[in-house]
Amino acid sequence: MSSLRFISAEEISGVLKYDDLIPTIEMALKDYSEGKGSKMVQPDKTLIDVEEHNGFCLVMPCYSQPNQIIATKLVTVFPDNVEIPSHDAAIVLFDSTNGKLISIMDGVYITAMRTAAVSAVATKFLGPLQPETLAILGAGVQAKSHYKALTTLFSFKKVKVWSRKRSSAEKLSSEINAEACDTVEEAVLDADVIVTVTSAMEPILKAEWVKKGAHINAVGACKPNWQELDPVLMQSSRVYVEDIDMAKKGSGDIILSKAEIYAEIGEVIQGTKDGLRCQTTVFKSLGMAIEDSVSAKLVYQKIFN
Contact residue for ligand NDP among 24, 67, 123, 142 (CB under 6 A): 142
CB of 14 to ligand NDP, least distance (A): 21
249 is a site residue for ligand NDP (CB under 6 A): no
Nearer to ligand NDP, 102 or 135 (CB): 135
Contact residue for ligand NDP among 286, 294, 296, 298 (CB under 6 A): 286
Strand pairing class (215-218; 281-284): parallel
Contact residue for ligand NDP among 72, 163, 173, 295 (CB under 6 A): 163
In the chain, alpha helices (H): 9-15, 18-35, 108-126, 141-153, 166-176, 184-188, 231-236, 244-250, 252-255, 265-270, 289-304
Q: Is 90 helix (H, G, I), strand (E, B) or coil?
A: strand
Nearer to ligand NDP, 207 or 303 (CB): 207
Q: Residue 188's closest CA among 109, 260, 253, 134?
A: 134
200 is a site residue for ligand NDP (CB under 6 A): yes
Stretch that binds ligand NDP, among 32-40, 196-204, 244-252, 274-282 (CB under 6 A): 196-204
Residue 3: DSSP 8-state: -
Interface of this chain with ligand NDP, residues 59 to 118, rule: CB under 6 A: 77, 79, 86-87, 111, 115
Nearer to ligand NDP, 98 or 225 (CB): 225
Interface of this chain with ligand NDP, residues 209 to 228, rule: CB under 6 A: 219-220, 222
Q: Residue 230's closest CA among 194, 267, 265?
A: 194
Dist CA 241 CA 265 (whole Å): 6
DSSP for 229-274, written as a single string: B-HHHHHHSEEEES-HHHHHHH-HHHHTTTPPEEEEHHHHHHTSS-
Nearer to ligand NDP, 8 or 167 (CB): 167
CB of 223 to ligand NDP, least distance (A): 9
Strand pairing class (133-137; 193-196): parallel
Count of residues of this chain found to bind ligand NDP when the rule CB under 6 A is applied? 27
Nearer to ligand NDP, 5 or 148 (CB): 148
Binding residues vs ligand NDP (CB under 6 A): 77, 79, 86-87, 111, 115, 138-143, 163-165, 168, 197-200, 204, 219-220, 222, 285-287
